[in-house]
Structure 1
Amino acid sequence: MKKNFTLFILTLFHICAFGQKPTQTIHGIITDQQTLQTLPGATVTISSPNYKNSVISDSAGKFTLTKIPVGRVAIQVQYIGYEPYSMPDFLVTSTKVPYLTISLSPGAIATDEVIISASKNAFEPLNELSVVSTRSFTAEETERMPAGINDPARAALSYPGVQRGQDDTENQIVVRGNSPIGILWRLEGVDIPNPNHFAIIGSSGGGVSVFSAQLIAKSDFSTGGFSAEYGNALSGAFDIRFRNGNFENRENRFKLSVLGMDFSTEGPIKKGRSSYLVNYRYSTLGLLSSMGIYLVGERVTNNFQDLSFNLTFRSKSGKSVQTVFGLGGLSEERYLPVSDPNKRIIGSANQWEDRVKPANMGAMGYTWTYLPDTRSYIKAVVAVMGSDIQRMSDTLDLQDQRFRFETQKYTDKRLVSSVTYQRKLTNKTVLKTGLIFNQIFFDFYKNTIPRTSVNDINQIQRKTSIQGSGQTQQLQQYVSLHHDISPKLSVNAGYHFLMLMTNKSTSLEPRVSLQLKPTANQRLSLAYGLHGRILPLMAYYFKDSLGNYPNLNLKMLKAHHGVLAYHLYTKSKMRFSAETYVQRLINVPIKPDATATYWMLNNSSDFPEFATVSKGKGLNYGLDLSLEKLFSNSYYFLVTGSLLKSTYSTLTGLSYNSRFNTGFSTSYTGGKEFPLKNGGILQLGMRYLLNGGFRYTPFDQTLSGIQGSFVPLENGDFSQQVPAYKRLDGRIAYRYNRKKLAGNISLDVQNILNRINATSISYNAATNSTKIEYRGSGFVPVLSFQFDF
């Protein structure tokens, strides 16, 4: 580690010593956010401490700015009848020629309000119908996030109301006390199930996202109060968009780090009209594991690789754009037993087990965006996607003979299509409607052996609890109407319809929101929505001893969600946000037994393996506060604090703490850049997470001792809480710019204080005792070298 750090510092000063400060060119296009029409005659101004220049967009809405000094620059766009646009922290490098697509929102702003109004743009979501609990993020934000591993899910841990899941090595996220089951992932307008390496069965998370930061364009993340177009989600939604490749120049990037290798290339297919963008990643974690270096956890090995691409084709008339996109990932995670049988602790199951977890996924799609007239657009998407997740777990005896105690396989293949139509009916009213259809082919299988201890596993009979194969369909349809009642007051109203053909269950969900702008720098918003969520498909296919499927007719999960939000923007590029929310959950699967307290959403990924009914309820409410400064004047920060309460009830109506009722969550994220000579930048960053610990149910020591297995304490469900979660991450990086070579050298350190947080509660049948398990990764330095050429 000391040698690597010394090399990092020497390389930094070596690069600083060479060359003159290079310049760059920026290309772009200005469009109307509501109709996607290009806007000729817009004024585009770019400035830095020692440079300022302006140009006017041409008849096709395009612009070009030349001889821009590398480093951070501010970009502003003004157009009569539209709100001004501001991008205060855009990074210009010597080897990458940016192509910007800037969308302007209709709405004239008085001259004395321009400065304040323009400062809000970078905070605002791309989807203007999302007026609460939504923020946009960029690929650069995920890259500069300390220990973010370029993963949107890990970057989201800095946002208000968001916490990490139970295991520190995974990217499952808990939003406002909800199970990670409720997260929606959407790519280019179609839903995509669990796009993660080391994917967790029945969940939305895994180890690390398959999405490459090299392809992600500015995208949205919502934590509630979804607009009408988002369905099949309860707690959060990632709306991911791929960027276009460079239409003018060929560019390449190579990145080498402790975690692996990453190569991307982009450029024109036909200059000015079409482009390609391709990225490939290969993990070297397996190589490190073979040398006895485990970054993820004790005796845990990981391997993954992925490929992503986006091809873009513009019509000569400018009326249509077509893209072909795709991503695919291969991964395998393995939990190894203690190598010496004589050193394995009796009753400590993980020391006797060899568990292999392969998870593969892929998706490829085609999009067509067409402008039939000057007031509307149509976007159609068709895609094929699939995932295959397996679990193979063996127990070893003293002679290392294997016995398979668990086999799982979950295959999900889909043909997905969607169509969106948006029309500006009047200058004050916009209609948006769409349809999403999924044809799903599935094959689920789970064969397990219930265990009391590792000593008698060979004497227990197998049990097939999940088994199902076939096909089904999922349909979503939505309508949303936006209307400006006055220059300061607007309303969004609509509905979302969701249907699953497996059991013909449906959900008709009204959505409405109001936004008041008392001044140019304030927003007061109120939103209500009914949100439906289809259960993980395998939850419907529990097979009882008679061969029946008692859960086949379970209802959809539903939640009434209300949000009141206030946002204040300042001239210094800061935003203060306060949101209070309440969420009433219904139709949660529970056992049809008045003495049982099972509630499906207490799990982060699992599903019932017994008969259940859709009669469980839940209640989440809380307050999210945040103070954020955009990256300007060479620094940024985001400070959040959340208070939350999450409870549930079953047939008796008694209220219990949910597993995710942590009580509070906070995050402190910030960074500072120091401009150096020749266009170089030294970057420092940190992130500190402090959250309440997850809850667990204590055991009944007497009954557990009699039965030889864990017996929960009666009426003690999730009454106990593990210690608070704490983690400090840091980042130091140097960005350099030469005429034909640019890039950065960075050192990201996860868990600087080497604090191992609680991950689970284990029961030892041999000693009839439980203990809090502290596992996962401790101090992890990740040194990386990036070259742009």
Structure 2
Amino acid sequence: MRRLQLLSVMLLFGLQTAFAQHFVLRGKVVDEDRNALEFVTVAVASQGKVTMTTLRGEYKLNLESADSVVVKFSLIGYRAKTRVLRRPQGNQTLQVVLQQHNSLDEVVVEGQRKQTTQSQELKTKDIRQLPTVSGNAVEELIQTQPGVSSHDELSSQYNVRGGSFNENVVFINGLEIYRPFLVRSGQQEGLSVINPYMVDQIHFSTGGYGVKYGDQMSSALDITYKTLKPRQFEASFVGSLLGADAYIGFATKSLTWLNSIRYKTNRYLLGSLDSKGEYKPNHFDYQTYLRYTPNKHWEISVIGNINDSRYTFIPKSRSTTYGTADNALNFKVYFNGKEKDLFTTYFGSIDITRLLTKNTKLSLLASAYSTHEQETYDIEGQYWLNQANNTDNLAVGTYFEHSRDYLNAHVETVKLMFRHKPAKHDLEAALLYKREHIDENYNEYEMRDSAGYIIPHTGKDLHMIYALKSKQTLNTGRTEAYLQDIYRFTNASQTSFFTLSYGVRMSHWDFNKETIVSPRLSLAYTPSFSTNSVFRITTGMYYQAPFYKELRDTVLTDGVTRVNLNKKIKSQRSIHLILGYEHNFMINRQKYKFSAEAYYKALSNLVPYTVDNMKVVYTGKNQGNGHVMGLDFKLYGEFVPGTDSWISLSLMDTRMRLNGKSVLLPTDQRYAVNLFFTDYFPTTDRWKASLKLVFADGLPFFAPHREFNESIFRASAYKRVDLGVSYRLYNHEARSKKSILKNVWLSIEGLNLFGVNNVNSYYWITDISNIQYAIPNFLTGRRFNTKIRFDF
């Protein structure tokens, strides 16, 4: 009997299942601008059914009908949405619009979207959290990324995976920007043309980037300025011991206009250097950005920038103690003279874009860059080098340094760009012409007297230890073109996702009659077995097209170094091979991302160079071949809920074959650890703290006036900790929403908190026996900066 009852129940259940009504749910998920969203999770938890949207934002689910079916749509970085279907039958269509997180209190964690190309997006909100020294917040954010290093907190320059400063390319709104040429120290360097108050998007690549980013061998930084919403107004004022900034932006229905004035003076920081005297650094920058959309078919944007940096230094004395406890040395100098430098640059651009269709644009871009630079000084120094516990002098002498260096340059660029975005592709093509004009007039020399003898001492003639003269004019033109596509597709079952980036670039320079062709390819794979992971492989050919510094070949005649422009020079070449992996995960409901990259760069046609502080001096000839290889790791996430933090580890090895010998590149940094950590008090949003830590291997150095591959030694490791603590004095949310003043923040920054004596260059003295001593030039010591910020 019991068996018969059990059989009846099973039969009834089977009949119910067999005759249960099913329906098909299909649709599309888009964002607020009606752009398709890929990788959106569509789930019906009650039935155990889940899928993801395709590259077109489309989805499809076979479901069982019920009184109510709850469907949830979710994507990291967007607000999840839930829809309830009442007794659905047959075919059902449901289109959903997801909104991005945009509330003031909400934090969007960098890297939560999958990185399917070699360009990572950095969040602009991290700029305001960084305790800054140079005043160039964007570059200081870049310097905390894996594979990036900087050994001078006063400078915005950085090295990427063994490349020099000149191997990094920077774009603003699709046009390349330039830096002054004569800057040789962080003290002279002013404000970057990148204005952090105007930045909307930051895309940065440490290698393997697409063909649209030009002919540089190391990295690409792509900046996009912001567009405000209609009737939006924002403004900020920041004042500190290191300068002051003012920013204002507003928008109407068709117009966005942003303006910013920045002033920087690092006299307070320079007071901690060993060289004492009267420092007068003054750096000023004004920038405007205007975007006008008269109708839905046209867009016009204009950028204007004036940057003026003046540096005056009247040295008095210097006292440097270095060495070990058992062999401490003291270097003391008394000065006469003065240094006066000027760097004035102008930059302007216009972008006229025609929207041919919803997904097709044609743009005409034009820009002009002009710089006027001068570096002049006459400085005499009388020095003594002795052991700290002994009055006997190791070296005594006098030196006199003279410079009258003048440079004027201007670069004009015209670019025609076409962009088209069909369903699975992102096409971009451009044709560009660039005109370059440079005038230089250099006259430098240094005289040294050691123990009463002018050196180098021959007993017959009088020679300077160093003398250089150059008067050159360069007029050249470059023609460039590229075509690239980003193709997104899935496998047959639509469970695995692929992103294929490929393209080719061509460039011709009429100075050396060289034409270079650069093919590049990248593939990203999101497997079905781990939708939170991405595997990437990238390869391509990257050229370092010679510009100005690489051309300067030198010839020594009668003790004077004279400069000639080498018309036979060829572009340096680097072949990149990169394997990458990233994984997004959660711990205790907090989001994290781990990424790793292994890279190898095969280098050829290298132009060897030396680095003295921020000055890169090339030999002017293609003389070497070599390699750079390494590993980069990064863990990014909400270590503390509601904040962004990351830690990175980089390992690297460089080698160059020169004159039959294997030597290190000047940027060989074997290891580096970067940490950026933000925190707040759990019970209040008034207190916030940001910590930046750098621990990096010292760079190799070469003795001057010797062969490039001789006298190599390595500087001590670069160690630095900067801590910023901020307190919110005023919060508009606690008051009327109509308040014009939004926030007032008071900050205290501990710069070089532990007072480490870091070295970024050496001053060399030579005695009568031709023995050279390397005197370390220490960077800034511990300083505390106070800052107040008003947000409107």
For residues 299 and 139 of structure 2, the distance between their equivalents in structure 1, rounded to whole angstroms, comes to 29
Q: How many Å apart are 1:217 and its aligned residue?
A: 1.2
For residues 400 and 447 of structure 2, the distance between their equivalents in structure 1, rounded to whole angstroms, comes to 13
Structure 2 residue aligned with 1:528: 539
For residues 85 and 451 of structure 1, the distance between their equivalents in structure 2, rounded to whole angstroms, comes to 70
Contact 2:410–2:438 (CA<8 Å) still a contact in 1?
Answer: yes
Contact 1:582–1:620 (CA<8 Å) still a contact in 2?
Answer: yes
Secondary structure in 2 aligned to 1:620? strand
> What aligned pairs does 1:459-498 form with structure 2 within 5 A after superposition?
460=463, 463-486=467-490, 488-498=497-507
**Matching residue's letter, 1:332:** R
Q: How many Å apart are 1:207 and its aligned residue?
A: 5.0
For residues 36 and 626 of structure 2, the distance between their equivalents in structure 1, rounded to whole angstroms, comes to 53
**Matching of residue 722 in structure 1 with residue 715 in structure 2:** yes
Q: How many Å apart are 1:367 and its aligned residue?
A: 1.1
Q: How many Å apart are 1:304 and its aligned residue?
A: 0.4
> What aligned pairs does 1:557-576 form with structure 2 within 5 A after superposition?
557-571=572-586, 572-576=590-594
Contact 2:318–2:333 (CA<8 Å) still a contact in 1?
Answer: no
Structure 2 residue aligned with 1:272: 253
Q: How many Å apart are 1:389 and its aligned residue?
A: 2.5
Structure 2 residue aligned with 1:109: none
> What aligned pairs does 1:140-539 form with structure 2 within 5 A after superposition?
140-147=125-132, 149-165=135-151, 167-194=152-179, 200=183, 206-245=189-228, 247-268=230-251, 271-285=252-266, 293=271, 298-299=276-277, 300-316=279-295, 318-338=296-316, 351=335, 354-396=338-380, 405-425=402-422, 427-453=423-449, 456=454, 460=463, 463-486=467-490, 488-518=497-527, 519-539=530-550
Q: Deviations over 1:590-618 (max 9, x none)?
A: xxxxxxxxx226677656576x5313112
For residues 297 and 521 of structure 1, the distance between their equivalents in structure 2, rounded to whole angstroms, comes to 53
Q: How many Å apart are 1:542 and its aligned residue?
A: 4.2
Structure 2 residue aligned with 1:39: 34
Secondary structure in 2 aligned to 1:76? coil
> What aligned pairs does 1:660-679 form with structure 2 within 5 A after superposition?
660-674=667-681
Secondary structure in 2 aligned to 1:232? coil
Contact 1:542–1:608 (CA<8 Å) still a contact in 2?
Answer: no
Contact 1:378–1:419 (CA<8 Å) still a contact in 2?
Answer: yes
**Matching residue's letter, 1:420:** M
Secondary structure in 2 aligned to 1:613? coil
Q: How many Å apart are 1:85 and its aligned residue?
A: 7.5
For residues 416 and 561 of structure 1, the distance between their equivalents in structure 2, rounded to whole angstroms, comes to 28
**Matching of residue 581 in structure 1 with residue 582 in structure 2:** no
Structure 2 residue aligned with 1:647: 655
Structure 2 residue aligned with 1:28: none
More strand as a share of residues = 2
For residues 436 and 554 of structure 2, the distance between their equivalents in structure 1, rounded to whole angstroms, comes to 20
Indicate how the Cα distance of structure 1 residues 356 and 77 shifts in structure 2: closer, same or farther if over 3 A, else same: farther
**Matching of residue 687 in structure 1 with residue 666 in structure 2:** no
Q: How many Å apart are 1:541 and its aligned residue?
A: 4.4
Return the match for 2:731 from 718, 732, 737.
737
For residues 576 and 338 of structure 1, the distance between their equivalents in structure 2, rounded to whole angstroms, comes to 51
For residues 481 and 743 of structure 1, the distance between their equivalents in structure 2, rounded to whole angstroms, comes to 45
Indicate how the Cα distance of structure 1 residues 444 and 529 shifts in structure 2: closer, same or farther if over 3 A, else same: same
For residues 714 and 788 of structure 1, the distance between their equivalents in structure 2, rounded to whole angstroms, comes to 52
Give the length in aligned residue pairs: 659
Q: Which ranges in structure 1 are unaligned for 5 or more consecutive residues? A: 1-30, 46-72, 99-117, 590-598, 700-709
Quick one: higher RCO (CA 8 Å, sep 6+), 1 or 2?
1
Q: How many Å apart are 1:257 and its aligned residue?
A: 0.8
For residues 652 and 35 of structure 2, the distance between their equivalents in structure 1, rounded to whole angstroms, comes to 48
Contact 2:30–2:36 (CA<8 Å) still a contact in 1?
Answer: no
- TM-score, normalised to structure 2, is 0.75
**Matching residue's letter, 1:637:** S
For residues 600 and 493 of structure 1, the distance between their equivalents in structure 2, rounded to whole angstroms, comes to 32
**Matching of residue 621 in structure 1 with residue 629 in structure 2:** yes
Secondary structure in 1 aligned to 2:104? strand
Secondary structure in 2 aligned to 1:496? strand
Secondary structure in 2 aligned to 1:327? strand
Q: How many Å apart are 1:370 and its aligned residue?
A: 2.3
Contact 2:159–2:667 (CA<8 Å) still a contact in 1?
Answer: yes
For residues 100 and 539 of structure 2, the distance between their equivalents in structure 1, rounded to whole angstroms, comes to 31
Structure 1 residue aligned with 2:751: 750
Larger mean CA deviation between 254-263 and 483-492 belongs to 483-492
- TM-score, normalised to structure 1, is 0.75
Q: How many Å apart are 1:307 and its aligned residue?
A: 0.5
When Rg is computed on C-alpha atoms for both structures, the one with the higher figure is 2
Computed over aligned residues only, the root mean square deviation of the Cα atoms, in angstroms, reads 3.9
Structure 1 residue aligned with 2:782: 779
Secondary structure in 2 aligned to 1:323? strand
**Matching residue's letter, 1:617:** N
Indicate how the Cα distance of structure 1 residues 150 and 192 shifts in structure 2: closer, same or farther if over 3 A, else same: closer
Secondary structure in 2 aligned to 1:143? helix
Indicate how the Cα distance of structure 1 residues 497 and 725 shifts in structure 2: closer, same or farther if over 3 A, else same: same
Contact 1:298–1:776 (CA<8 Å) still a contact in 2?
Answer: no
Indicate how the Cα distance of structure 1 residues 84 and 523 shifts in structure 2: closer, same or farther if over 3 A, else same: farther
Secondary structure in 2 aligned to 1:209? coil
Contact 1:232–1:531 (CA<8 Å) still a contact in 2?
Answer: yes
Structure 2 residue aligned with 1:552: 567
For residues 761 and 140 of structure 1, the distance between their equivalents in structure 2, rounded to whole angstroms, comes to 37
Secondary structure in 2 aligned to 1:618? strand
Indicate how the Cα distance of structure 1 residues 374 and 350 shifts in structure 2: closer, same or farther if over 3 A, else same: farther
Indicate how the Cα distance of structure 1 residues 396 and 689 shifts in structure 2: closer, same or farther if over 3 A, else same: same
Q: How many Å apart are 1:722 and its aligned residue?
A: 1.8
How many percent identity over aligned positions?
18
Indicate how the Cα distance of structure 1 residues 488 and 265 shifts in structure 2: closer, same or farther if over 3 A, else same: same
Contact 1:370–1:379 (CA<8 Å) still a contact in 2?
Answer: yes
**Matching residue's letter, 2:316:** V
For residues 556 and 664 of structure 2, the distance between their equivalents in structure 1, rounded to whole angstroms, comes to 32
Q: How many Å apart are 1:340 and its aligned residue?
A: 10
Return the match for 2:104 from 83, 88, 91.
91
**Matching residue's letter, 2:104:** L
For residues 89 and 684 of structure 1, the distance between their equivalents in structure 2, rounded to whole angstroms, comes to 22
Q: Deviations over 1:723-763 (max 9, x none)?
A: 21111110111233233322311122211001111222332
**Matching residue's letter, 1:773:** P
For residues 189 and 723 of structure 2, the distance between their equivalents in structure 1, rounded to whole angstroms, comes to 23
**Matching residue's letter, 2:755:** N
**Matching residue's letter, 1:495:** V
For residues 363 and 770 of structure 1, the distance between their equivalents in structure 2, rounded to whole angstroms, comes to 43
Q: How many Å apart are 1:782 and its aligned residue?
A: 1.7
